[in-house]
Amino acid sequence: MDELKFIRQGYFTFEIEDSLSEKTKAIPNGYGVYRIYANSIEGELLYIGKGGTVHTNGSFDKQPLKERLKNKQENMRREKFFIKKMNEDKQLKALYIEWFIIDEKLFLPAYYEAALIQDYYSKHSKLPKWNKKY
């Protein structure tokens, strides 16, 4: 992870009563990666994802990081997915979401996502709980 360079980074916490749209407003436009932890930065890493898919012609999907964070997971809006997971696991009181905006001209978002997943896999011999496959 040390070799990865980011333009901007930040985090926010999400709790059941929060609006994900409000929480993501501070994220600047751009492509990048994110990690979701249980309760705090010291909690279990639950998910690693990216915002920004490149097409053969070099163009990107119109889904920068901010929009990707609000999109769908397991066929439901991300906010509903988060609330469902917190209702299922009473020890999960909040999600700590760490985000990184990258310079996609240097490396694609998928490169950063792969590096983060590889780092996790090397240490734990498995994927984060909410990453179904890679």
Query: 108-126, pLDDT tens digit by residue?
Result: 999 999 999 999 999 999 9
Determine the structural domain holding residue 38 and report its residue range: 8-124
Q: Which of 13, 8, 20, 131 is nearest to 69 (CA)?
A: 20
Task: Specify the pLDDT at position 2.
Answer: 56
CB 35 within 8 A of CB 131: no
Q: What's the structural domain count of the chain? A: 1
> Does some domain include residue 129?
no
In one-letter notation, the amino acid at residue 130 is: W
CB 52 within 8 A of CB 60: yes
Give CA–CA dist 73/98, Å, rounded: 17
> Does some domain include residue 131?
no
More confident residue, 41 or 2: 41
Residues comprising the chain, all counted? 134
Give CA–CA dist 39/43, Å, rounded: 6
> Does some domain include residue 80?
yes
